[in-house]
Amino acid sequence: MSIRESSHEIRMTTNATTNMTAEAPAAPLLEIRGLGKRFPGVVALDDVSLDIRAGEVHALVGQNGAGKSTVINILSGMLQADAGTIRLDGVPVAIRDPQHALALGIAIVYQELSLLPNLTVAQNLALGREPSWRGLLDIGAMNARARMALGRLGLEIAPGTPVSRLSLAERQMIEIAKALASNPRVLVLDEPTAPLGQREAEQLFAAVRRLRAQGVAIVYVSHRFAEVLALCDVATILRNGRKVTTTSLAGWSEARLTDAMVGAQAERYVASARTAGAVALAARDLRFGHRVRGVSLEARRGEILALTGMLGSGQNEIARMMGGDLRADAGTIMRGDRRLRLGGPSDAVAAGVALLTEERKHEGILPNRSLRENIAVASLGDRGGPAGFVRAASERAEVRRVMSDFGVVAASPEVPIRTLSGGNQQKALIARWDLADADVFILIEPTRGVDVGARADIYRRLDALARGGKAVVIVSSDLPEVLTLVDRILVVRDGVIAAETTPAAVDEEKLNLMIQGAAAA
């Protein structure tokens, strides 16, 4: 069942809850009043107030930079507010640090993973709360606790599995299980489905509904408005550090949420026909362990091609092999009549193939370097001067040009890229490879953790690349994104291309059935 398909069922429960609340409003479990926070030159929060009630899913909605992360960091104790009060059960609290937040019953699941890969699942879940017996670590109790926490999410992962062996989506679910292991009264989920496939997302939604029924107060932060409308009871909308409104979501639409968030009728991406040209990159009988079992495909100039499927079906490995990040066990990758020998990403880059993975902060940006350096790093050789020095003026001019072309918003090209929103970081990475004159762009989950405004902007930039004669390949688990953006869709299932279709031939329901293998192509 897709997110949209389940919306009606969830909404009926939500409306019932909302109606009961309207008749007899419950006292807030967590009250935030007049919250304010300033950083040098920036007002992050200005007089923000909201109530979080037990047994309620409360969405926190806003563009990147609206103040959502600052609210979360204050609730976690990582930041201290400059103004305002927080009450828990009516009692004022000053949350000193993350340990104090946990002791108060406030657990945060961040978008960025914090697991230790060299430890097992059970060890990560018990970290800082290890059970002991007669002064020794009680491994049996630790594993039992882990199985209980995993079971709350419907996960079938052995507690003794090293985290390093888990997929990104599995690690995200372990982060959530880790938060649940502390039995929180308030659970904050920051973009929890960003790395998840449809099946894992549905497991998460089921867990959220169970927690709501158990009286847990849940703060849900997501740029995916279909999820917000399907799962959440109320929403607080932030804009530029101030609260726009807190409202019941009954009767709201994605378009209305978007308009309230951005403050005006949002400029949306509307697809128009593109014309595919010659083959720019082709894969023939690619194989990689049991994950990819003989895949052949062609990416053409002037088109955007999507690979989609259930998590772990092999689409990520296909993309990484084509981008040089994984070495195929067998098969060939062709650029025209030339067979590419890809020993690593640098070989792909030399052939004009750029890979942007879903791990933007770990495998994309250079966080401590400036925006200018991040954009220019892949094309330094093009601006070499005497004695091998870079022509600084040329570099600055080129960087400013592509920042303008790709809509990268920053106070200066010299600001650290880590200070930018996720959407601006992603646009900067695409600009990097355009400046390096890449011919084929391969992007895994291109709008992960990106707000609705930046998402539409990224779609327009990818559309412009395709119209300019580039080949664009995306791997996406976001079915509305696939149906909105691309020309052709390849459904990957169990390591093979199970179906090929187009957005004109399917809707979200049919595409989801094709992905699950429940309907013929």
Write down the architecture of domain 3-262 according to CATH: 3-Layer(aba) Sandwich (3.40)
- The percent of residues above 70 in pLDDT, for the chain, comes to 91
Q: Which amino acid is at 407?
A: G
Provide the pLDDT for residue 338: 92
Q: How far from 511 is each of 138, 293, 306, 349, 457, CA to CA, in Å?
A: 47, 22, 12, 33, 25
Provide the pLDDT for residue 381: 60
Query: Residue 148 above 80 pLDDT?
Result: yes
Q: Examine domains 3-262 and 279-516 and report if their fold is the same.
A: yes
Q: Where are the domains of the chain?
A: 3-262, 279-516
Contact criterion met (CB below 8 Å) for 487 and 274: yes
Provide the pLDDT for residue 386: 47
Confidence band for 26, pLDDT divided at 50, 70 and 90? confident
Provide the pLDDT for residue 336: 86
Provide the pLDDT for residue 422: 82
Confidence band for 41, pLDDT divided at 50, 70 and 90? low
Query: Residue 139 above 70 pLDDT?
Result: yes
Confidence band for 180, pLDDT divided at 50, 70 and 90? confident
Provide the pLDDT for residue 7: 44
Give kind and range of the element (H or E) at residue 395: helix 392-405
Average pLDDT over residues 376-403: 72
Residue 138 backbone zone (phi > 0: left; psi -120 to 50: alpha; other: beta): beta
Strands 304-308 and 488-493: parallel
More confidently predicted of 198 and 148: 148
* CA dist., res. 504 & res. 129, Å (int): 53
Provide the pLDDT for residue 278: 96
- Reply yes or no on domain 279-516 having CATH 3.60.21.10: no
Confidence band for 391, pLDDT divided at 50, 70 and 90? low
Provide the pLDDT for residue 128: 73
Q: Give the chain's largest Cα–Cα span.
A: 77
Which of 213, 121, 216 is CA-nearest to residue 174? 121
Confidence band for 8, pLDDT divided at 50, 70 and 90? very low
Confidence band for 18, pLDDT divided at 50, 70 and 90? very low
Strands 30-39 and 42-52: antiparallel
Contact criterion met (CB below 8 Å) for 500 and 489: yes
Average pLDDT over residues 208-222: 91
**Cβ neighbours of residue 139 closer than 8 Å, sequence gap 6 or more:** 122
Q: What is the pLDDT of residues 238-292, one digit of tens each?
A: 988 899 999 999 999 988 888 888 765 556 677 788 999 999 999 999 999 988 9
CA angle 226, 189, 71 (to 5 degrees): 105
Average pLDDT over residues 430-454: 89
Confidence band for 390, pLDDT divided at 50, 70 and 90? low
Across the chain, what does the average pLDDT equal? Answer: 86
- The percent of residues above 90 in pLDDT, for the chain, comes to 49
Q: Is 286 helix (H, G, I), strand (E, B) or coil?
A: strand
Cβ atoms within 10 Å of 42's Cβ, excluding its own: 11
Give kind and range of the element (H or E) at residue 189: strand 186-190
Strand runs labelled E in 229-345: 234-239, 242-248, 279-288, 292-300, 304-308, 330-335, 338-340
Q: What is the pLDDT of residues 409-426, one digit of tens each?
A: 888 899 999 888 888 899
Provide the pLDDT for residue 36: 94
Q: What is the pLDDT of residues 292-340, one digit of tens each?
A: 999 999 999 999 999 999 877 899 999 999 999 999 999 999 998 899 9
Provide the pLDDT for residue 446: 92
**Bridge partner list, 474:** 306, 443
Provide the pLDDT for residue 21: 42
Which of 335, 340, 305, 330 is CA-nearest to residue 319? 305
Provide the pLDDT for residue 288: 94
* CA dist., res. 255 & res. 265, Å (int): 9
Query: Residue 455 above 60 pLDDT?
Result: yes
* CA dist., res. 445 & res. 432, Å (int): 18
Average pLDDT over residues 359-373: 87
Q: What is the pLDDT of residues 100-111, one digit of tens each?
A: 999 999 999 987
CA atoms within 13 A on the CB side of 31: 14
Average pLDDT over residues 2-9: 47
Query: Residue 384 above 60 pLDDT?
Result: no
Provide the pLDDT for residue 229: 93
Q: What are phi and psi of 499, to 5 degrees?
A: -160, 155
Q: What is the pLDDT of residues 333-350, one digit of tens each?
A: 999 889 999 988 999 999
Provide the pLDDT for residue 15: 46
